[in-house]
Amino acid sequence: MIIGTAGHIDHGKTALVKALTGVDADRLREEKERGITIDLGFAYLPVGDGCILGFVDVPGHDRFVRNMLAGATGIDFVLLVVAADDGVMPQTREHLDIVTLLGLTRGAVALTKADLVPPARLAEVAGEVETLCHGTPFAGTRMFPVSPVTGEGVEALRDALAAAARSFSPRGEEGLFRLAVDRCFSIRGAGTVVTGAVLSGSVSVGDGVTVSPSGLRARVRGIHAQNRAVARGQVGERCALNLVGDGVGVQAIGRGDVVLDAAAHAPASRIDAELRLLAGEPRALAHWTPVRLHHAAAEVGARAALLQEGPIVPGATGRVQLVLERPVAAAVGDRFVIRDTSGARTMGGGRFLDLRGPDRRRRSTARLAQLDALSRESLADVLAGLLDLPPFAVDVAAFARDRALGLELRDLLARVPHVRASSDGHDLAFSPATWKTLSESARALLEDHHRTHPHLLGPGIAWLAARLEPRVGIGPASVAIRTLVVDGMLATEGGVVRLPGHRLALDGRDYALWQRILPLFSGEARFRPPLGRECAGLLGEREPEVRRVLKAMARQQRVVELAPDRFFLDEAVREMAGIAAEVAAARPDGLFSAADFRDRLRNGRKVAIEILEYFDRSGLTTRRGDLRGVVPQRIADHARRTNGIMEENRPRWGVRTSNPGGAVSQSRVGSTPTLFRHPTTGPARGRDGR
C-alpha cells in the first residue's frame, strides 16, 4: 500500500514520516538548509508478513503544489497532517480538495505537535478537521494525536497504518502496465533509472516497454519495488526501473512521462472529461478557459471547451473537452486536476471519459448521447451503450488500449452480447441487432443491384459500404462486408461483391451485339482478333457500345483484355498458353523468343508481345532478356482453373430457346435467344439454376 502525506507547510509531515519509518524523506540540500520540503520524498516501512508500506512525502508550500500533485497520483491511502497549534490552514483545504478530486477515499488524520498544546486546543482542532472533512469521502476519518518529538501516538498510528495495509485490497493486475514517472536519474554502473507509482498492470525484468508520449523503446534491466530488488513490479507499488535501450537517458525521460506496455501507447491531446468545479471557485468555468492540467505526474497547458450549454458553476459537475498544448499518456477513467494558469489555486478536477474527443460537432446530439454512455461506471455498461449508438461499431483494440485493458478484456466481452467482425487488421464489435440489420441491408442492396444490372457481376465494396443500413461509416461497413464474405453470406470476385448465387446476364440488345462480335474473335481469327475500335468499324456500331459489351464480357470472364482495347476469348488465351508451353518444350533449354511464338500463332509481332507480356504479369512465363521460359505448374493451374475442376464456378448466363418439346435449354450461344430473369436475384438462369 502506498501512503501519501497531505497538509500545510511546516505542519510536520516529513518529521512524522521519519518518526514512523526512521527515514528522512528530505533528500535535497536546499530542503535541509531551509527546513521545508520542496520536492517529493520517499520512505518505506516493513510491517511484517512481507508487507511494506511506501510513503510519499509531499511539499506543503503553495508554490510547490505542482510537486504535491505529481506525488499524489497512485497513492492508496491519505495521511492528512494538521498541526495542533495552527489548525486547519489554506494548504490543508487545498490538499484535501486535491485528494478528493483524485478519487481517494481511504485515509487517517494525524494531529501533529500534540505535545505543544493543551487538551482543549487539541479538541478544538479535531473539531475543525471534522468540519473540514464533512461532505467528503474522509468524513468520520479516525484522528491520531501525535508528537514526533516525544513519540506520543506514533506507535498507535503505525499500527493503524499496518492494519489498513493488511485489509487493503490491491487493484487488479490484469491491466496493461503503466508507471507514472516522477523521477529520472542515472546511477553509475547501472545507467538510467526511473521511479514512480505503478498505475496498472505489472512488469518483469527483461520486458520491453515504451516511454510515452515520446514513443522511446526500452527494456527493463532491473526492478526495485517498495525499496527492494524484485523480479516483478505491480500495481499498488512504487517501483524503480533500470531502463536500457537506444536513446534511453536522463535527457530523454522526465517527470510526466509514463513507462508502459507498448500496446497502451497512444498519446492523447483532445480529451473529453467529466469535471467538478470546486465550490470555492470565485467564478463559473466559461468556454475555452485556459487552465493547467495535472494528470499523473504530468503538467500541461490546456483549454477547457464546454460540452454543455452554459458555464459550469462553482460546486457543479459538467463535461468539458480538454484541448492540450502537447499530448499526454493517459487512460480512460484516470483522474485529473486543473489549476489556474498562474498556479495560484486548484479549480477542480474529475475523470477522463474519452481520449479521442472529436474536434468538430463535439456538442451534437449524437456525441452527447455517446458521452452519456461513456459516463457509465461499469465497463460492460459503457460497451453495451456504445454498441447501441451511432456509429454502432466499437474498435475492440482501441477500446482496450485506451482503458489499459489486458486479460480482463476477454471477460468483459463475454458479458456483453456482440458480434465480432475482423478484416485487414481491424477488429470491430457490433450489437447482434445491428449485425442483423447490416446483413439484411447488404442482401437487399445486392438483390436490387443484380436485378437492375444483370450484366454486372456486382458493385464495389465501397459502393455497398456507403449504402448499408445503419450508417456505420465506410471503414466499419467494409469490415462488416468482408466478414460476411468469410461467413459465406456474400462473395467477392474481381474486386466486386455479389450474392453467392448470382450469375451474370446480358440484356437483349447487348446480347445481340455480342453475337455479332463473337465471330470476329473465334475460329481462324481467335489469335489475331481486331481491337475494340476496329470491331466497331467492321460492325458499323458506335465504338463506346462495342467496348462496353466487351468490358461486360471481360467481367463475366468470357473474354480477357490482355492490353488496352485488346480482347481475346478466354478459351483462346488458354490455348495460347498451351502453345507457349509447346514452343518452350521444343527448345533444348526451354527458352523461346517472341518471334518463335508469333510464328506459331501466325499473328503480328506486336500482338505476340502483348500476349507474352500478359503471360509475364500472370506468372505463366518468365523473361530472361529477349527470351522467355514457361512456369509449368502455373500453366497447369491456369488450365485447371478455367477448364477443369473450377469450370462450374465460372459465370454463366441463361437463354430461352424454343424447341419441339417445349423444354427450356441452356446454352452460351443461341440463334434467337430470349433472356429471362430470376425473380429474386435478377440474373438470367436456366432450369438447372445456372
Using DSSP, state whether 64 is helix, strand or coil: helix
- What average pLDDT does the segment 175-184 reach? 93
Q: Is pLDDT above 50 for 688? A: no
Domains and CATH numbers, the chain: 2-166 (3.40.50.300), 178-264 (2.40.30.10), 268-368 (2.40.30.10), 508-649 (1.10.10.10), 653-690 (no CATH)
* Residue 665 clears pLDDT 70, i.e. is over it: no
Please choose, from the candidates 493, 388, 399, the residue with its C-alpha nearest in 3D space to the C-alpha of residue 437.
388
Query: Tell me, what's the pLDDT at 64?
Result: 58
List, as one string, the DSSP characters of 638-676: HHHHHHSTTGGGS-----B---TT------SS-SS-B--
Q: Report pLDDT digits (tens) over 216-241.
A: 999 999 999 988 899 999 998 889 99
DSSP 498-525: E-TT------HHHHHHHHHHGGGGSGGG
What is residue 344's predicted lDDT score, i.e. its pLDDT?
86
Residue 661 has pLDDT above 80, yes or no: no
pLDDT in tens, 489-500: 999 977 889 999
pLDDT band at 685 (very low <50, low <70, confident <90, very high): very low
Q: What is the pLDDT of residues 299-326, one digit of tens each?
A: 999 999 999 999 999 999 999 999 999 9
**What's the rounded Cα separation, in Å, for the pair 506 and 493?**
18
Question: Tell me, what's the pLDDT at 477?
Answer: 96
Of 51-55, 391-395, 576-580, where does mean pLDDT reach its minimum? 51-55
pLDDT single digits (tens) 269-296: 999 999 999 999 999 999 999 999 999 9
**Cell numbers 487493503: residue:** 168
Say whether pLDDT at 247 is over 90.
yes
pLDDT score at 66: 75
- Reported as a single tens digit per residue, the pLDDT across 75-89 is 899 999 999 999 999
Give the 3-state secondary structure of residue 435.
Answer: helix
Residue in 339, 276, 350 with CA at minimum distance from that of residue 313 = 276
Residue 509, pLDDT score: 85
pLDDT score of 434 more than 90: yes
C-alpha cell at 448: 436490387
53 and 83 Cβ atoms separated by less than 8 Å: no
Which residue bears the cell 456507403? Answer: 466
Closest CA to 72 of 297, 237, 291: 297
Nearest Cα to 490, choosing from 430, 441, 453, 433? 441
Q: How far apart are alpha carbons 375 and 431 in whole angstroms? A: 19
Q: CB-based burial of residue 265 (10 Å sphere; 0-12 exposed, 13-18 middle, 19+ buried)?
A: buried
Q: What pLDDT was estimated at residue 257?
A: 96
56-65, 92-101, 538-547: lowest mean pLDDT where? 56-65
Q: What is the band of 645 on the pLDDT scale with cuts at 50, 70, 90?
A: very low
Residue 585 has pLDDT above 90, yes or no: yes
How much is the pLDDT for 33? 47
Question: For residue 467, what is its C-alpha cell?
Answer: 449504402
Nearest to 546 by CA among 524, 531, 562: 531
12 pLDDT band, cuts 50/70/90, is confident
Mean pLDDT of the chain: 87
- What confidence score (pLDDT) does residue 295 get? 95
Neighbours of 362 (CB within 10 A): 18
Whether the Cβ atoms of residue 198 and residue 261 lie closer than 8 Å to each other:
no
**pLDDT class for 679, splitting at 50, 70, 90?**
very low
Distance CA 224, CA 232 (A): 8
Cell of residue 502, nine digits: 448470382
pLDDT above 80 (res 614) = yes
What distance in Å separates the CA atoms of residue 520 and residue 562, rounded to the nearest whole number? 16
